[in-house]
Chains A and B, each alone.
Chain A
Amino acid sequence: MSEDSIRDLVRWADGRAGPPPPLSADLAGRVLLRRRRRTRIRVTLGAGLCLAVVALGGAGLFERSKDARIVAEQPSESGVPRRPPMHPAAVAELTRLGVEADLHTRIAAGMSAAREQQLRLRDLRHRLVADDPYEQAQRQVDRAARIILCRAESLHRDHGLPASAVAAYRRVVELFPANPLAEVARRRLSELENSNGETL
């Protein structure tokens, strides 16, 4: 079987397989949703892990003090059970770990809630911006500035025409002086003029 026949066969099979199955609607939205869900799971797992570590630490301390407690609970010579001697350092450590675990849980929950709120706010802000005619016009202006800037970069980098690039950068500066891209154009102009000062 020759190389061509393999290529033809694979292409034939690709044609026969037909177009890819359709995707469900709003792919972009579903990807964002998936990311949010993953973030939430990660935060929850992190908090769970913290708790588990703290619980294991506590259990270790408890085990260590158990033997001492068994000995202590045996009746003394007078017949009265001894008071279980809990080392003050162990008590303090357990209390500290408990407080720390609570704190971690609260921080994790707070972070998760704040992150969700932030994402919701960002979505709302973008939705608001999308409906505002002024913002729409502003976006058109941005787009025009960006296109000229891209053209200038392309003239310079891809086609090696610094003089035309300088003209295009100047055009951005003149037409859109208040636009942030004008600042980029100014920077590029000064770079170009510095490097090729004598020729331009």
Chain B
Amino acid sequence: MADGIPTVSAVGPPEAAHEERLLLAEVAAGNSAAWGRFVTAHRQRVVSLAYRLLAWPEEVDDVVQEVFLSALAGARTFRGDCAVSTWLTTITLNECRRRWRRRLLRRARLAERAEPKSRREAPPSDTAALQRERFQEVRSALRRLRPRDREMIVLRHLEDMSIARISDVLGLGRSAVEARLSRARARLRKLLGEAAAE
């Protein structure tokens, strides 16, 4: 696992889950102190997840604000069917999908088209340069994946979520999650293979 980046897989003991729900109820009632506590409690996990779902962009400030804005707007309608952290993870996924659709995908594709030739003219000479290039290949492959495939890879391999928890977050059946995960891996493998062959 990446150093120092927290994952969203921990739900915590039942008491903590109740505490979270009560805190969210206070947020829904308009308590700004509770809102501050809620943001402090969840910001790190939201930031980390958004950072990974958007394939390590330069900034995530805006998307994180949007996630919390959606949470604030939806606090009143939270039914308590799942843990607050699961609910917040779903909001983050939706916001990242929206973001990806709107802006990043278009930008990434333009960058992909503009990037390769000039960069490959001079082959890297040392280990650091090779590693940098490999990282760019992985990032580029992840960015070229469809958002739903990327989510699978991130949730399973970077956030270390179990299949059961992924199916909770995405509202899918277990077998559907397994099938999607397998497809996502195959697509990523293909993209990485293409990058290596170029």
B185/A3 in contact, CB under 8 A: yes
Counting CB contacts under 8 A, is B81 at the interface? Answer: no
Per-residue A-contact encoding for B13-38, CB less than 8 Å = 1, 0 else? 01100110010000000111101101
The CA of A23 and the CA of B142, in the complex, are separated in Å by 24
Set of chain A residues within 8 Å of B157, measured between Cβ atoms: 6-7, 10-11
Stretch from A50-58, A106-114, A151-159 contacting the other chain: A151-159
Q: How far is the CB of B152 from chain A (nearest CB, A)?
A: 11
A27 with B52, Cβ < 8 A, contacts A13-B138, A17-B135, A17-B139 known? no
Contacts of B188 in A (CB 8 A): 6, 10
**Residue A122 is within 8 A (CB to CB) of chain B in the complex:** yes
Q: Is B51 an interface residue (CB 8 A)?
A: yes
Once the chains are docked, how many angstroms separate the CA of A11 from the CA of B15?
A: 32
Complex interface residues of chain B between 129 and 153 (CB less than 8 A to chain A):
131, 134-135, 138-139, 142, 153
A10, A21, A122, A146: the one within 8 Å of B142 (CB): A10
Evaluate contact between A1 and B192: CB separation under 8 angstroms: yes
- Indicate whether B58 reaches chain A with its CB closer than 8 angstroms: yes
Contact A20 B47 (CB under 8 A): yes
**Chain A contacts of B38 at CB under 8 A?**
28
Q: Mark A160-199, 1 if CB is under 8 A from B, else 0.
A: 0000000000000000000000000000000000000000
In the assembled complex, which residues on chain B have CB atoms less than 8 Å from the CB atom of A27? 39, 43, 64-65, 68
When distances are taken between beta carbons in the complex, the residues of chain B under 8 Å from A150 are 14-15, 18-19, 22
A21/B59 in contact, CB under 8 A: yes
Point out the residue from A19, A30, A34 that lies within 8 Å of B5, measured CB to CB: A19
24 contacts between A and B (CB under 8 A): A6-B188, A9-B138, A10-B157, A11-B157, A13-B135, A14-B56, A14-B158, A16-B135, A17-B51, A17-B135, A17-B139, A19-B5, A20-B5, A20-B51, A27-B43, A27-B68, A28-B32, A28-B40, A30-B65, A31-B65, A34-B69, A122-B32, A130-B33, A154-B14
Q: 8 additional contacts, CB 8 Å, given A31-B69, A154-B14?
A: A10-B188, A14-B2, A19-B4, A34-B69, A35-B69, A38-B69, A147-B19, A151-B15
Q: Which A residues are within 8 Å of any B CB, using their own CB?
A: 1, 3, 6-7, 9-17, 19-21, 23-24, 27-28, 30-32, 34-35, 38, 122-123, 126, 129-130, 146-147, 150-151, 153-154, 157-158
Q: Which residues of B contact A (CB under 8 A)?
A: 1-5, 14-15, 18-19, 22, 30-33, 35-36, 38-40, 43, 47-48, 50-52, 56, 58-61, 64-65, 68-69, 72-73, 131, 134-135, 138-139, 142, 153, 157-158, 185, 188-189, 192-193
